[in-house]
Amino acid sequence: MKKSIFNASFEESLNLEDDGFRKFNQKSYDDLLKSFQKGKLSIKTKVTYFILSLIFPIGLNYLGVILAKEIAVQGQFMGYPALEHNILSIKSYEIFLVVWLVTILIGKWFNQVFILPYRMQFHAQVTAFIWLFIEINLTFITIYFHTITIWGVLLLLLISIMLGYAMMQTQLRRLKRILYGEEYPVSTIEKLVMKFSIYGMGLLGGAIIVKMILKVFTVSLTNSMEYFAFFLCWPISNALFLALFIFVELSHFLPAYYKLKYPKEYREWEGKSLEEWYGKKYLKKYKELLEHE
pLDDT tens, per residue, the chain with 293 residues: 678 999 999 999 999 998 888 888 888 888 888 877 776 766 777 777 777 777 778 888 898 899 888 888 888 888 888 888 888 889 999 999 999 999 989 988 888 889 988 998 898 888 988 999 999 999 999 999 988 889 989 999 998 998 899 889 889 998 998 999 877 666 666 667 666 666 666 666 676 666 666 665 566 666 778 888 889 889 989 998 999 999 999 999 999 999 999 999 999 999 988 888 888 888 888 766 666 55
Give the helix ranges, DSSP H, for the chain.
10-13, 26-37, 43-53, 60-74, 90-107, 116-122, 128-180, 188-215, 221-243, 250-261, 263-270, 274-278, 280-285, 288-291
- The pLDDT assigned to 86 comes to 82
What is the DSSP-derived secondary structure letter of residue 271? T
Q: Considering only CA atoms, which of 126, 110, 120 is closest in space to residue 32?
A: 120
Kindly report the CA angle at 130 between 194 and 253, in degrees rounded to 5?
85
Q: How many CB atoms lie within 10 A of CB 92?
A: 16
